[in-house]
A and B are shown apart, each in its own frame.
Chain A
Amino acid sequence: GAGVSQSPSNKVTEKGKDVELRCDPISGHTALYWYRQSLGQGLEFLIYFQGNSAPDKSGLPSDRFSAERTGGSVSTLTIQRTQQEDSAVYLCASSSRDRPYEQYFGPGTRLTVT
């Protein structure tokens, strides 16, 4: 079956522009996670959705970051007024209700802010 998909796969943007990253989880997966991986760093958890609800947004790096999920499916991560330190690979993962601890990752969006 189809895995987690993300778009775009690569995004180059100028400092100060807004970007929107999209994640399509595996069909039927109720939980969705966003992570980011900066060069030479480990994966950093950003936000978690159970259904359409994100209980805690404090993991987002700054108030320029926002995320939403609609219909219990697609999620978007929006970064406003991008900065160079936002350059990273943004990864989305989803998991099922039956096996909530096993997450399947999408291929990521590689964001470069120039």
Chain B
Amino acid sequence: RKEVEQDPGPFNVPEGATVAFNCTYSNSASQSFFWYRQDCRKEPKLLMSVYSSGNEDGRFTAQLNRASQYISLLIRDSKLSDSATYLCVVNPWDSNSGYALNFGKGTSLLVTP
């Protein structure tokens, strides 16, 4: 079983729509949680960290539920430029792999005019 699971999509939404992505993880020892964004043929870039209290950055809101081992990302008022693959990432620590990131396979978002 993969440690981080996401719905691959694609999610096709019109500009201005609100879209939500979900992710579950299996390793309860995971300490840090992130959403990364990856554009086609580009490297992943950190979008935002995810905290238990929930956090917001402009149009983006991330939530973490440790009890359910569930992470979400909400994008409001979506823009064409939001089209990308969104990667759910968890970050357990161990002495052998440090803070190596465990990535989900990503959820593809296409925002259309």
In the complex, what's the smallest C-beta–C-beta distance from A79 to chain B, in angstroms? 20
Chain B interface bracket (under 10, 10 to 19, 20 to 34, 35 or more): 20 to 34
Do B97 and A59 touch across chains, with their CB atoms under 8 A apart?
Answer: yes
Please measure, in the bound complex, the distance between the C-alpha atom of A107 and the C-alpha atom of B101, giving whole angstroms: 17
Do A42 and B99 touch across chains, with their CB atoms under 8 A apart?
Answer: no
| B79 interface residue per 8 A CB criterion | no
| B68 interface residue per 8 A CB criterion | no
Check A45/B102 contact, CB under 8 A, given A56-B97, A101-B31, A101-B91.
Answer: yes
Cβ-defined partner of A33 (8 Å) among B45, B98, B104: B98
| B35 interface residue per 8 A CB criterion | no
Return chain B residues, CB-CB under 8 Å to A107: 42-43
- Identity of the chain A residue whose Cβ is nearest the Cβ of B31 in the assembled complex: A101
Please measure, in the bound complex, the distance between the C-alpha atom of A76 and the C-alpha atom of B46, giving whole angstroms: 24
Do B43 and A45 touch across chains, with their CB atoms under 8 A apart?
Answer: no
| A102 interface residue per 8 A CB criterion | yes
B-facing mask of A32-75, CB < 8 A → 1, else 0? 01010000011101001010000110110000000000000000
Give 4 closest A-B pairs by Cβ, nearest first.
Answer: A56-B96, A105-B43, A42-B105, A101-B32
Q: Which residues of A contact B (CB under 8 A)?
A: 31, 33, 35, 41-43, 45, 48, 50, 55-56, 58-59, 91, 93, 95, 100-108
